[in-house]
Structure 1
Amino acid sequence: MLLQGQRILITGGSRGIGRGAAIECAKHGADIAINASAPSDSVDSLVKEIETLGRKAVVSIGDVADPDSATAFIEAAVKGLGGVDHMVANAGICPFHSFLDMPVEVVKRTVDVNLMGTYYMCQAAANQMVRQGTGGSLIAISSISALVGGEMQSHYTPTKAGQHSLMQSVAIALGKYGIRANSILPGTIATDINKEDLADPAKREYMEGRIPLGRLGKPEDIGKVVVFLASDLAGYMTGAHVLVDGGAFVHLQ
């Protein structure tokens, strides 16, 4: 198993990409700590699934936009798992809205969750890794939207570009501690964020038609790349961004 005995923290872990990453990492031997914004049946079922795979599961409830939640998450992981080896900053929101009448509150909340939440969580995890003295890695779940615009995403795309840029700077800052920092840029993944569009056959066909591999991504597609980046197979990768989009970006060029 690629991640045997590793302790992996995942924000926004109860659904979508976060859930897919948690399950894939557990399959490869990792114990998992999940941050979720609120208790839910989805959180409970994920804990059971991880435990069925023979791994430990810890849950911390809190808003990633609150720096105190990052401290609480690390404390819960240390108490429940014994330490922190990897942080996957996955929590994110994308409330689609037109640019000209975008409410300030929507912009601020999107930045606070997507960018600042990543900052707080990675900073807290990195400090714990430095205290442990055993290295580790930080993985930000950015988006193909870090590289391309979106008419209804003027508030969202800058946060995704910011995550990618943040990992580059953090890679420089933390390399001397043996801590790697990378970002994953998913394409269109079937999750709650886009479920309404995907329910429309015409929109789904349009999305799939722009992807050379001819299908939408699944959360486990991203989870497998998380496993790779957390494992020793990626031991010489830091400051990198990895497109996982079925070829969508090259098709858009």
Structure 2
Amino acid sequence: MLLQGKTVLITGAAHGIGRATAIACAKQGADVAINYLNEPEAAAAVVAEIEALGKRAIAVKGDVADAASAPAFVEAAVKAFGKIDVFVSNAGICPFHAFLDMPAEILERTMRVNLHGAYYMVQAAAKRMQQQGSGGAIVAISSISALVGGEMQTHYTPTKAGVHSLMQSCAIALGRYGIRCNSVLPGTIATDINKEDLADPAKKKYMEGRIPLGRLGEPDDVAGCVVFLASDLARYVTGSSLLVDGGMFVNLQ
């Protein structure tokens, strides 16, 4: 019960890594507030699963790209649970597209969701933690793409590098308040974001072949690492990044 008595907020938690993290945190004793944009049924299912574990949960609709959604999410969580102990910035998109004819709207939407959204949400959560005066933990889901390029991801990789950098700077800015800030850099994790890309058996086999552990990651593989960074086991860890990629990055070197 690494998060017993804690309140955890997670953006983009109706599916994938966010969903797995929400449930993992509840299993470790936390009450959980999740943010979602679409699919209220999926969000409600996450809430129901957490409540079945005996913990409290709420789902708050909001577009992280809208700056106003950040304080609204934080306020809803505080109203429900009274405080914020852990914030996980997870919401992100990756609409694969070639570089030379990248539509401006795809570039700008990706930037607004992945980078601006992370900034707004982290800032709102940090303000509340600072006001509470009892510290806290912030974990941002970056990506191995913060460290390596991708032909169809020229709009995506800069955002994930930005999220990684944001956590490093926030670790310095917020350390005086006892707020720890770290990033997790997943490798190829089988989620909805890359479902179509990995539907090609040859592509899937190629991706698996680059991973020393021999398999694609699962959302739970990332969730466990988030729980660690959110917990007191990592009480002296801030400004760090944790690769969760089955060894892919070192193999690419």
What corresponds to 2:67 in structure 1?
67
* C-alpha distance in structure 1 between counterparts of 2:83 and 2:193, whole Å: 32
Does 1:151 find its partner at 2:151? yes
Q: Tell whether the 8 Å contact from 1:189 to 1:219 is kept in structure 2 after alignment.
A: yes
* C-alpha distance in structure 2 between counterparts of 1:105 and 1:199, whole Å: 26
What corresponds to 2:172 in structure 1?
172
* C-alpha distance in structure 2 between counterparts of 1:106 and 1:40, whole Å: 24
* C-alpha distance in structure 2 between counterparts of 1:178 and 1:50, whole Å: 28
What corresponds to 1:139 in structure 2?
139
* C-alpha distance in structure 2 between counterparts of 1:140 and 1:129, whole Å: 16
What corresponds to 1:222 in structure 2?
222
Number of residue pairs matched?
253
What corresponds to 1:162 in structure 2?
162
What corresponds to 1:21 in structure 2?
21
* C-alpha distance in structure 2 between counterparts of 1:169 and 1:40, whole Å: 34
Partner AA of 1:68 in structure 2: A
What corresponds to 1:202 in structure 2?
202
* C-alpha distance in structure 1 between counterparts of 2:219 and 2:82, whole Å: 27
Q: Tell whether the 8 Å contact from 1:184 to 1:244 is kept in structure 2 after alignment.
A: yes
Partner AA of 1:161 in structure 2: A
* C-alpha distance in structure 1 between counterparts of 2:86 and 2:54, whole Å: 19
* C-alpha distance in structure 1 between counterparts of 2:182 and 2:195, whole Å: 27
Q: Tell whether the 8 Å contact from 2:47 to 2:57 is kept in structure 1 after alignment.
A: yes
1:39 shift after superposition:
4.4
* C-alpha distance in structure 1 between counterparts of 2:130 and 2:207, whole Å: 43
1:157-187: CA deviation from partner (whole Å, max 9, x where unpaired): 0000000000000000000000000000000
SS at match of 1:67: coil
* C-alpha distance in structure 2 between counterparts of 1:196 and 1:96, whole Å: 10
Partner AA of 1:142 in structure 2: S
SS at match of 1:182: strand
1:114-136: CA deviation from partner (whole Å, max 9, x where unpaired): 00100000000000001111100
* C-alpha distance in structure 2 between counterparts of 1:16 and 1:205, whole Å: 21
Q: How does 1:38-57 map to 2 (within 5 A)?
A: 38-57=38-57
* C-alpha distance in structure 2 between counterparts of 1:215 and 1:95, whole Å: 23
What corresponds to 2:111 in structure 1?
111
1:95-126: CA deviation from partner (whole Å, max 9, x where unpaired): 00000000111111100000010000000000
What corresponds to 2:236 in structure 1?
236
Does 1:120 find its partner at 2:138? no
* C-alpha distance in structure 1 between counterparts of 2:236 and 2:89, whole Å: 20
* C-alpha distance in structure 2 between counterparts of 1:39 and 1:79, whole Å: 23
* C-alpha distance in structure 1 between counterparts of 2:105 and 2:172, whole Å: 33
1:9-52: CA deviation from partner (whole Å, max 9, x where unpaired): 00001100000100111100011000001342211111110000
- Root-mean-square deviation over aligned CA pairs: 0.7
**Which 5+ residue runs of structure 2 have no aligned equivalent?**
none
Greater than 6 Å deviation, 4+ residue runs: none
TM-score by length of 2: 0.99
Partner AA of 1:165 in structure 2: S
**Which 5+ residue runs of structure 1 have no aligned equivalent?**
none
Does 1:85 find its partner at 2:82? no
* C-alpha distance in structure 1 between counterparts of 2:165 and 2:69, whole Å: 23
Q: Tell whether the 8 Å contact from 1:58 to 1:81 is kept in structure 2 after alignment.
A: no
* C-alpha distance in structure 1 between counterparts of 2:41 and 2:190, whole Å: 20
1:61-94: CA deviation from partner (whole Å, max 9, x where unpaired): 0100111100100010001111111110000000
